[in-house]
Amino acid sequence: SQTIHQWPATLVQPVGSPLSLECTVEGTSNPNLYWYRQAAGRGLQLLFYSVGIGQISSEVPQNLSASRPQDRQFILSSKKLLLSDSGFYLCAWSSGTAYGDEAFFGQGTRLTVV
Amino acid sequence: GEDVEQSLFLSVREGDSSVINCTYTDSSSTYLYWYKQEPGAGLQLLTYIFSNMDMKQDQRLTVLLNKKDKHLSLRIADTQTGDSAIYFCAEGGFKTIFGAGTRLFVKA
C-alpha cells in the first residue's frame, strides 16, 4: 500500500533562517507531488507541483522553492524565512492520470516563524 | 484559470442536516471531490463523484452535482459533533484544485 511521510510535524524558526521540509512517498512510482499551504483562517493554496524528477511548477510567486531530487521525494525550501511564511504545510501525491484522481495527504507541518 | 469557491462557515445543531455548497469553473474536470480535515491533521478523501453523475449517496453523505451551473453540494444527514471539521471541495484534473474550505460547527 502507498504511504506518504512528511516531517517535521511542527517547526519554530526565526525570521531570516533557512527552511527545509521533506516529503517522501512509498508504494508507488512516478507520482504527481504537491505542496500546499494552509494559512491560519484561510484555505488551501497550491504552492508547487511536480510531475517528475526535476520538474517543478510554481503556482504563486513567493519566498519558497521546491525540489524533487528523487522520484518519490519532494522538498520545500527557503533561504530566508519571512513572518508571512507561517502556516500549515501539506504535502500530497496523486497517481497523475490525466482525468483526475484522489490526492493523498501527509499529516502536515505546522511552521511558526518568529 | 481554475477556481473553486465555497462558503467559509456553517453552523448546525446536532441531528440536523448540513449542506455545504461549492462552485467550480473547470468544466473539463472528470472527478469532483469532498475532503475532510480534522483539526491539526491532513486532508482525507470523504467522497467523490464522476462528472457524468447527478447524485451519489454514501451512508449519511449525499453529493449533488449540477454540471450546467457548475455547482456541487455535500449533504450530511443526522450531523454529529464528530462531523465538526473543515470540508474542502476540489476538482480533479492534472492537478487538484481545492476550495478554501468550509468550517462546519456542530452544536450539541
Beta carbons of A91 and A35 less than 8 angstroms apart: yes
Give the burial class of A98: count Cβ atoms within 10 A of its Cβ; 0-12 exposed, 13-18 middle, 19 or more buried: exposed
Identify the contact set of chain B against chain A, taking CB-CB distances under 8 A. Answer: 29-31, 33, 35, 40-45, 48, 88, 90-101
- Report chain A residues whose CB lies below 8 A from the CB of B94: 32, 98, 100
A42, A99, A101 member nearest B100 (Cβ): A42
Over residues A66-75, the pLDDT tens digits come to 999 999 999 9
User: Which chain A residue has its CA at the smallest distance from B101's CA?
Assistant: A43
Interface probe with B: pick from A25, A99, A112, most Cβ of B within 10 Å: A99
Separation between Cα atoms, residue B29 and residue B97, nearest integer Å:
10
Cross-chain residue pair B95–A32, CB shorter than 8 Å:
yes
Question: Is the per-residue pLDDT at A99 higher than 50?
Answer: no
Interface probe with A: pick from B31, B43, B49, most Cβ of A within 10 Å: B43
Residues 6+ away with beta carbon under 8 Å from A22: A6, A7, A73, A74, A75
Over residues B82-97, the pLDDT tens digits come to 999 999 998 876 667 8
Separation between Cα atoms, residue B21 and residue A89, nearest integer Å:
25
Over residues A1-57, the pLDDT tens digits come to 888 999 999 999 999 999 999 999 999 888 989 999 987 666 788 899 898 898 998
